[in-house]
Amino acid sequence: MSKKNQSITGAYSFFNCIEKNFDKAARFLSIEKGLLEQIKACNAVYRMHFPVKIGGKIKVIEAYRVQHSHHKLPCKGGIRYSIKVNQDEVMTLAALMTYKCAIVDVPFGGAKGGIKIDPQTMSTENIEKITRRYTSELIKKNFIGPGIDVPAPDYGTGEREMSWIFDTFLSIRPGEVDALACVTGKPISQGGVRGRKEATGLGVFYGIRELCYMKEEMLSVGLDVGLVGKKIIIQGLGNVGYHAANFFHESGAIIVALAEREGAIYNKKGLDVSKVILHLKDTGSILNFPEAKNIENTENALELECDILIPAALENVIHKNNANRIKAKIIGEAANGPITPDADDILEKKGIIIVPDIYLNAGGVTVSYFEWLKNLSHVRYGRMEKRFSENMNAELLQVIENVCKTKISTEEKKIILRGAREIDLVRSGLEDTMISGFHKIRDLKKSYRIENIRTAAFVLAINKIVDSYERLGIFP
């Protein structure tokens, strides 16, 4: 763990922080200690070093794949490319994946991968070389496969890396009929599913929207019901933060600040997210956006006046040294582990509602699950039923028109007749998952009389995992 991280999280490693949250929840349950220990432990940690020739010189690359839980298979979780990657971080992120999948009823064990590189300073050729070599190391040790362990994008990776992983897998395992399902987050042309890219951001939006519909919760923090007019700060404009910002903006919420590595921008009347993105593309930075004030120190953006704060970048950004200065009434953890346990306690005392990562950012893995199912079934969503439902709707409409002796306008007809496309099915599956997940946690919070949503979410996850261990007959 780096010195800075240690001063932020105190004596604890990142993994200890998650264990602390787990232990808090376990106190509400009477589960055998050994079983709890088994659930918490990382089942397999694969740490590798491999050589890659960069600029004519051999460079040793450090990389990881951690499988936290095998209670369901395959294991599932993204691969992170960052110079800060370390074993503790990958283990923690893998553990979070286990709990996340359990909460949203996605039948996978948790995993995570990481390569310690800074992709922003590397050529595409070198990133490709490293990705392909990493994949063959995973294949060698049986750490990847449609029924074994299925990677996905995470911080620093995207569709491009996923298609290299798939291609490497297929070239080493030719003829494997389900090879497409060895990785998710692929481009549509390579077996990806429509709606995967924006899934985590959209899931964050659905989760926060559902909370904002709850009168009781809104009353507790002195806010009106609904999202319209709510002031939002988003930290991190990567794949998650960018899409979340767009969905919030479209829904009538006001994005008052956006924060990136180089600094933040603020306008209390609201920022037009698409204009900020254009400015970012033109200038390479969000700073100096004409309709906003610059905030040089990006960390200060977290402390601005707002209703909802969405940390959507990396872990431990809200810690014991800044938690007291947070003014938001709601914090939505779009990133994994953005709040340290010390900060969690401080924020809870301040009455801030925290919507935890293990629920809120589960949209990504939920749609990865849909992609995996699509790959295993070898058929696009909607292919079998779209035309059929359109024909049925047309017949039904004809009957209604005959009975009522009125004609429906062509515009109205278009809306009524339309059969579901892949994107419609993926989005409605995601929306349903996020809404039902929210209510499961909320109901459980009430019935167990638990103070905060995070602990309730952990209780839900632990109960689910224990159930599947029992079904396996491992702990009779």
Annotated binding site for substrate: 76, 100, 368
Which of 42, 61, 66, 78 binds ligand GLU (CB under 6 A)? It is 78
Nearest residue to 381 (alpha-carbon basis) of 343, 430, 336: 430
Q: Quick check: bond before 74 cis, omega within 30?
A: yes
Decide if residue 76 touches ligand GLU (CB under 6 A).
Answer: yes
Nearest distance, CB of residue 98 and ligand GLU, angstroms: 11
The piece of 262-270, 338-346, 357-365, 434-442 that touches ligand GLU (CB under 6 A) is 357-365
Does the protein bind ligand GLU through residue 461 (CB under 6 A)?
Answer: no
Helix 363-377 to helix 87-103 angle (10° resolution) is 70
Widest pairwise Cα distance in the chain: 80
Binding site membership: which residues?
76, 100, 200, 239, 368
Pattern 38-67, ligand GLU, x by CB under 6 A: ------------------------------
332 lies in the site for ligand GLU, by CB under 6 A: no
Task: Name residues whose C-beta falls within 8 Å of residue 203's C-beta, 6 or more positions apart in sequence.
Answer: 360, 361, 362, 363, 364, 366, 430, 433, 434
- Kindly state the tokens that stand for 455: 């602990």
Task: Report if residue 77 touches ligand GLU, rule: CB under 6 A.
Answer: yes
CB 201 within 8 A of CB 243: yes
Q: Is the distance from CB of 267 to CB of 292 less than 8 angstroms?
A: yes
d(CA 231, CA 253): 6
- Please state the closest distance from residue 224 (CB atom) to ligand GLU, in A: 31
Binding mask 284-303 for ligand GLU (x = CB under 6 A): --------------------
- By CB under 6 A, tell whether 361 contacts ligand GLU: yes
**Measured CA distances, 26 to 412, 446, 452, 457 (Å):** 53, 16, 14, 11
Stretch that binds ligand GLU, among 39-47, 72-80, 173-181, 289-297 (CB under 6 A): 72-80
Collapse the DSSP code of 458 into the 3-class scheme (helix H, G, I; strand E, B; otherwise coil) and give the result. Answer: helix
d(CA 82, CA 260): 16
Q: What single-letter DSSP state applies at residue 370?
A: H
Residue 352 sits in the site that holds ligand GLU (CB under 6 A)? no
Surface-to-core class of residue 240, CB atoms within 10 Å of its CB (0-12 exposed, 13-18 middle, 19+ buried): buried
Q: Which residue matches tokens 């602390």?
A: 20
Q: Is 112 a catalytic residue?
A: yes
Which among 112, 374, 445, 464 is annotated as catalytic?
112
**Residue range at the interface with ligand GLU (CB under 6 A); choices 261-269, 285-293, 312-320, 358-366:** 358-366
C-beta of 291: minimal distance to ligand GLU in Å? 32
Q: Is residue 326 a contact partner of residue 304, using CB atoms and an 8 Å limit? A: no
Could you tell me the smallest distance in angstroms from the CB atom of residue 204 to ligand GLU? 11
Contacting ligand GLU (CB under 6 A), which of 235, 368, 375, 452?
A: 368
**Residue whose CB is less far from ligand GLU, 210 or 357:** 357
Instruction: Say how far apart CA 10 and CA 8 lie, in whole Å.
Output: 6
Each residue 161-190 as x (binds ligand GLU by CB under 6 A) or -, in order, gives: -----------------------x------
Least distance to ligand GLU, CB of residue 95, Å: 12
Q: Which of 8, 63, 95, 152 binds ligand GLU (CB under 6 A)?
A: 152
List of residues contacting ligand GLU (CB under 6 A): 76-78, 152, 154, 184, 336, 361, 364-365, 368
Active-site residue set = 112
